[in-house]
Amino acid sequence: MLVGAAELLARVDRYSERYPSPAALALHLDEGAPADA
Whether residue 6 lies inside any domain: the answer is yes
Record the pTM: 0.36
Q: Is the pLDDT of residue 36 over 60?
A: no
Whether residue 37 lies inside any domain: the answer is no
Domain count, the chain: 1
Q: Is the pLDDT of residue 29 over 70?
A: no
Cβ atoms of 28 and 20 within 8 Å: the answer is no
Residues in Cβ contact with 25 at an 8 Å cutoff, skipping those fewer than 6 apart: 12, 15, 16, 19
> Any alpha helices (H) in 1-37, and if so which ranges?
2-18, 22-30
pLDDT tens for 4-23 read: 888 888 887 877 676 667 77
- For residue 7, give its domain range: 2-32
pLDDT score at 12: 79
